[in-house]
Structure 1
Amino acid sequence: MRTTTESSEKTVVGDGRRLLWISVLLLAAGTICSPLFGQQGRGKPDDWFIARTPPATQKPPKMISSAETIMILPGPPACPMSQTERKRPPSPDYLMGKVIWGQSASFKNAQSLPIKIDDWNLADRDLISLTTMIRPLGFSYHWSHTRLDQFDYDPKRLPCLLISGVRELKFPADQIKKLREYVLGGGMIVCDSVYGSPHFYESALRVFDTMFPESKFRVIPQDHPLYHIQVDLDKAAYACGAKQDKPFLEGLYVGSRIGVLVSRYGLGCGWEGEMGVFADLVARGLAPAAYAPQTAKAIALNLAAYIIGYARAGEIEGSPELFGLPDQKTPTSEFVFAQIKHDGSWNTHPGAARALLTKLKHESTIPVNLRRVAVDPAQDDLSPYPFLYLTGLDDFSLTPKAVEKLRDFVRNGGTLFVNNSLGLSTFDRAARREIARILPENPLQAVLPTHPIFRSLQRIGKVQYTATLQKDKGKELDGRVVLEGIAFGNDLRVIYSPYDIEAGWNDVYYPLLRGYDNASAKQIGMNVIAYSMTH
């Protein structure tokens, strides 16, 4: 198939010095940093489908095949551990597979040499560059080209898929179903709009919005582990297409981890250090958008560490969980863990509540129902539940009806327990704002160490924090449980933890988590439940 005209061939392979001067002049004039995705500079999908020069010749080590099984056991980010069990002689572990998709085009350049370009491989040295960059840090992983019709969609064998391109992304229905299962099972998908094409970026959002109707894309907050797990990325430099100095990535959460990551700004060319193609795009009247190489490479280092560090969390949180139903009648003496659904990422640590309830059942006389119940406070009857749990990772907003019903709930003796998953600042601001909407005349107050909640089931004195929280605030917190609350009379009706308690109920490592270690988190969680049952 031939999709490139003779005139566009000349644009792609024109004199390099002329294109360099065009690039310099446009950068000086600010043209290359025109507003992103306005009608001007948008062009048509095929306008973006041009080759970089020269093409790479290095090939990946091999294709992933069904004869291998790769088990990744994450340790601290800078020291990843891996264990392999294969049917063949040992070979390097694989971190990412680049998905083969779309169409190809063939033509001859000005020197009559054949050139072939593919939708999926315009930045053809991106993963070569990424795996080379991360090896000095102890990440001894490799990459592969991945054909979805031959892939077994097992995240233990290949924890991340990279999808790269400039034209509209499309998958058949059977592959969409399998990709969804892959992500829910612990896999991660990264979409790189390689030249900053609006057509690829917008289509990627559509594809995965449709694939995950229960979730929606969120801007990754600046204090998220993805921006700090290996190197601190507080500032970002852009080669073109942006007037900001912060990194901008969007993610679709599955539990507490990013299941699908989309970059509207090109990454692959920055990983390679090959930026000349952007002058070609500008010469065509397009407005490309990409990270500068230094920022793209910093994102690559963090991305690799994040994939490895959160692989086990993805596996645990990807295990199927059976929810109870809001209309199921339970004995009045049985504790039901009712969790509030909201418009943010409300189900951040799947499986954690069941793990805590199982421990509570074995270590106390409290009768518990092991099934969580998900409730919509605006629509569901809250009267059967003396306890409601709310958590999240990012911004959220309760409807006016939900605010009204939650206000009645706590004023009538119910306990609302709010937990900041991963301990991120975005959720902290949102939680405080929404609690103030529920009870505007009752501000949160610090819960003192002498409060009965710290001896309702077990006596809690000093606690242990995660490594990140200990490093950031260990001296200030001095082993205290940090809770804030709102009391009516002598009883706490609202309890808020600004640091993650729920993550510790799952026996899994969450890199850069700001919260409590597993033992302390379980103690606090059981005491909160016991307190809510007796007050």
Structure 2
Amino acid sequence: MKSTFRLLMGLAVGLVPALPAGAGRLADSLGLDSDVVQQEGGYTCVPLPPPPPPAQHSGAEGMPPLPLPAVPLRRTEKKNPPRPPVLIAKIATADKGDWATNPGDTENLLRWMAETLDVHFSSMNLPEDQIPADPREIPVLYRTGHEAFAFSPAVRERLRAYLLGGGTLILDACCGRRAFVESALTEMEQLLPERPPYLLTLDHPVFHSFHDIKPADIRYRPWARKAGAEDGVPAIVGIDIECRTAVFFFRWDVSCGWDALADSDRHHCLGHETDCSRILGANLMAYLTAERSAAIPLSKALDFADAARDRSGKFVIAQGKYGGQWKTRSAGLGMLLNAFHEQTQTPVRFERDELPLDSARLFDVPFLYLTGHQDFELTDRERRNLREYVTRGGLIFAEACCGREGFDAALRRELAAIFPGAELAAIPPTHPVFLFPNALAAVQPRPALARRLGVGDAIAPVLFGLNVDSRLGVVYSPVGLACGWELADCPHCCGLAANDALALGVNILTHAITE
């Protein structure tokens, strides 16, 4: 199967006739084949060199300098305050005329944030061969430019380790240049080939981490609109690691806005308006600072393991693989199984598997787990397989990881197509799934969910169910559970606190085993 990147690039140059819905929407936002992009070489944001200083002559030329006074003058000016901690480092290469076209972009953004938001960080330039192994030294790396670029294999290896270790990479196509866009997409694919890029939608936490960004706040410069950018529609490409977006790629420029650089006869910027660039930058920094402590989940060393390799006598749980981000918390399910054994002492041996939704092996497992963040679309074969799976007695448990609206809408749409006429309805509080082995009359929401719902520290638990042949064939949680299963400090998760997420998960497993 072609990667998302190849599909996007193929569409941009007219090589691919049709695309899946998600990839098509992403490619449509890139505008790589527009007439405006073809003319970009005639315009630049590179500043003109300063004029030479005028020659100065005075009658005092040639005179020796005046002697210092015998008593030094008292210094009355205030000392400079200590430099704030470094949040972001701008990746520097040998071609300073490329990566430093907007030399004040990060400093100006951080200065604006200090003046308007009273948050204080600093930035620095960093040669690309000095990327730190520990992202706690420099949490965010930033690469901008006009021209095509490629990281060396050694730099790419260090950068991949940096991202997997909790760091973040921001890519900005300065002035919206096509050469940089193509290089950025290539590098994203090579850095994390197992994690496809996707277009961030307005339900992503980065749009609400400080300013509550609405469609009316997404505004582009005139030349970006001519190239295909659409006001109200964000065009930021991301790559997620677990529940954290680790790579942000701005196809439409933000650096000129951060540097407060206006359009002119010699500068036609394909980017966001200045105010829009600033609020996006502020939200991005707020998102990243909140995620710093959550980048490495506590559960990495606590994953579930069953030493017995023989599957006989085991209750097999499969995680469904589909054409999207199907695996959001890598250790969550294992942590839930640990909690189940510890709490219930039930002599049940588990086996985990990862299966494509169109696989015939699906019918060998009684429990199927589906999760994700974004919108997705199943194939006809996957839909037929899932319908037959449930009809033959299988149970689907689905969870909108972090309570994300994109997955919620997609799952409801797909279930309606798979089971026409069946209703996905709220499971009543008297159902055993809320009562055994844990009686759950109320649960604690995470702070992000409490803010979304406008509630305090207790809510009624909510699950939805879909009955097939008078049997509960689908159980669905519209709020996140897996972050709680992993004991992860996920600041933007609209889900349940760890103890209640584990308790509800144990109840769901118990229901699946006993029914």
TM-score bin, normalised by smaller chain: 0.7 to 0.9
Instruction: Indicate the residue corresponding to 2:147 in structure 1.
Output: 167
Instruction: Indicate the residue corresponding to 1:37 in structure 2.
Output: 32
What does the per-residue CA deviation read over 1:1-53, in whole Å, with 9 as the maximum and x for residues that have no partner?
xxxxxxxxxxxxxxxxxxxxxxxxxxxxxxxxxx9433523248865665125
Using a 3 Å threshold, how does the CA distance of structure 1 residues 397 and 141 change in structure 2: closer, same or farther? Answer: same
Offset at 1:156? 1.9
Q: 2:91 aligns with which of 93, 99, 106?
A: 99
Instruction: Indicate the residue corresponding to 2:266 in structure 1.
Output: 280
Contact 1:419 1:500 (C-alpha < 8 Å) held by counterparts: yes
3-state secondary structure, aligned to 1:338: strand
Q: 1:238 aligns with which of 220, 241, 253?
A: 220
CA distance in 2, matches of 1:165, 1:324: 46
Using a 3 Å threshold, how does the CA distance of structure 1 residues 357 and 94 change in structure 2: closer, same or farther? Answer: farther
Q: 1:250 aligns with which of 237, 259, 278?
A: 237
Offset at 1:291? 0.9
Q: 2:209 aligns with which of 229, 233, 237?
A: 229
Instruction: Indicate the residue corresponding to 1:51 in structure 2.
Output: 46
CA distance in 2, matches of 1:208, 1:500: 27
Instruction: Indicate the residue corresponding to 1:213 in structure 2.
Output: 193
Contact 1:46 1:167 (C-alpha < 8 Å) held by counterparts: no
Contact 2:303 2:335 (C-alpha < 8 Å) held by counterparts: no
CA distance in 1, matches of 2:288, 2:348: 36
Instruction: Indicate the residue corresponding to 1:465 in structure 2.
Output: 445
Contact 1:351 1:506 (C-alpha < 8 Å) held by counterparts: yes
3-state secondary structure, aligned to 2:363: coil
Q: 1:269 aligns with which of 239, 256, 265?
A: 256
Offset at 1:281? 3.4
Deviation >6 Å, runs of 4+: 320-325
Instruction: Indicate the residue corresponding to 1:294 in structure 2.
Output: 275
Offset at 1:213? 2.1
Offset at 1:329? 4.4
| Structure 1 position 304 matched with structure 2 position 288 | no
Offset at 1:387? 0.9
Offset at 1:98? 0.7
Instruction: Indicate the residue corresponding to 2:110 in structure 1.
Output: 131
What does the per-residue CA deviation read over 1:395-416, in whole Å, with 9 as the maximum and x for residues that have no partner?
1122222222221221122110
CA distance in 2, matches of 1:380, 1:144: 54
Instruction: Indicate the residue corresponding to 1:417 in structure 2.
Output: 397
CA distance in 1, matches of 2:161, 2:299: 9
Instruction: Indicate the residue corresponding to 1:195 in structure 2.
Output: 175
Instruction: Indicate the residue corresponding to 1:31 in structure 2.
Output: none
> CA RMSD for the aligned pairs?
2.9
Using a 3 Å threshold, how does the CA distance of structure 1 residues 238 and 321 change in structure 2: closer, same or farther? Answer: farther
CA distance in 1, matches of 2:47, 2:419: 59
Using a 3 Å threshold, how does the CA distance of structure 1 residues 227 and 408 change in structure 2: closer, same or farther? Answer: same
TM-score (norm 2): 0.80
CA distance in 2, matches of 1:370, 1:91: 53
CA distance in 1, matches of 2:299, 2:160: 11
CA distance in 2, matches of 1:372, 1:223: 31
Offset at 1:319? 4.5
Using a 3 Å threshold, how does the CA distance of structure 1 residues 357 and 177 change in structure 2: closer, same or farther? Answer: same
| Structure 1 position 532 matched with structure 2 position 512 | yes
Identity %: 28
Give the greater-gyration-radius structure (CA).
Answer: 2
3-state secondary structure, aligned to 2:137: coil
Offset at 1:141? 2.6
Offset at 1:379? 2.6
Contact 2:321 2:354 (C-alpha < 8 Å) held by counterparts: yes
- Paired letter, 1:292: E
Say which is worse superposed, 45-54 or 240-249, in terms of deviation. 45-54
Contact 2:303 2:331 (C-alpha < 8 Å) held by counterparts: no
Contact 1:354 1:371 (C-alpha < 8 Å) held by counterparts: no
- Paired letter, 1:123: N
3-state secondary structure, aligned to 2:267: helix
- 1:110-121 to structure 2, matched below 5 A, reads 118-121=97-100
CA distance in 2, matches of 1:48, 1:372: 56
Using a 3 Å threshold, how does the CA distance of structure 1 residues 336 and 225 change in structure 2: closer, same or farther? Answer: same
Unpaired runs of 5+ residues, structure 1, are: 1-34, 56-89, 105-117, 283-287
Instruction: Indicate the residue corresponding to 1:17 in structure 2.
Output: none
Q: How many residues align?
A: 446
3-state secondary structure, aligned to 2:87: strand
Contact 2:253 2:271 (C-alpha < 8 Å) held by counterparts: yes
Instruction: Indicate the residue corresponding to 1:69 in structure 2.
Output: none
Instruction: Indicate the residue corresponding to 1:315 in structure 2.
Output: 296
Offset at 1:214? 1.9
3-state secondary structure, aligned to 2:438: coil
Using a 3 Å threshold, how does the CA distance of structure 1 residues 294 and 178 change in structure 2: closer, same or farther? Answer: same
Contact 1:413 1:493 (C-alpha < 8 Å) held by counterparts: yes
Instruction: Indicate the residue corresponding to 2:377 in structure 1.
Output: 397
3-state secondary structure, aligned to 2:88: strand
Say which is worse superposed, 301-310 or 143-152, in terms of deviation. 143-152
Offset at 1:159? 1.6
Say which is worse superposed, 154-163 or 235-244, in terms of deviation. 235-244
Contact 2:297 2:489 (C-alpha < 8 Å) held by counterparts: no
CA distance in 2, matches of 1:209, 1:487: 41
Offset at 1:349? 1.6
Using a 3 Å threshold, how does the CA distance of structure 1 residues 49 and 533 change in structure 2: closer, same or farther? Answer: same
CA distance in 2, matches of 1:453, 1:184: 36
TM-score (norm 1): 0.77
| Structure 1 position 382 matched with structure 2 position 374 | no
Unpaired runs of 5+ residues, structure 2, are: 1-29, 51-81
Using a 3 Å threshold, how does the CA distance of structure 1 residues 300 and 445 change in structure 2: closer, same or farther? Answer: same
What does the per-residue CA deviation read over 1:431-470, in whole Å, with 9 as the maximum and x for residues that have no partner?
1111223222322111000011112321111112122322
3-state secondary structure, aligned to 2:407: helix
CA distance in 1, matches of 2:480, 2:454: 15
CA distance in 2, matches of 1:202, 1:403: 35
- Paired letter, 2:321: K
Offset at 1:193? 0.9
Instruction: Indicate the residue corresponding to 1:30 in structure 2.
Output: none
CA distance in 1, matches of 2:278, 2:419: 46
CA distance in 2, matches of 1:480, 1:390: 23
Using a 3 Å threshold, how does the CA distance of structure 1 residues 47 and 171 change in structure 2: closer, same or farther? Answer: farther
Using a 3 Å threshold, how does the CA distance of structure 1 residues 103 and 466 change in structure 2: closer, same or farther? Answer: same
Using a 3 Å threshold, how does the CA distance of structure 1 residues 525 and 245 change in structure 2: closer, same or farther? Answer: same
Say which is worse superposed, 357-366 or 260-269, in terms of deviation. 357-366
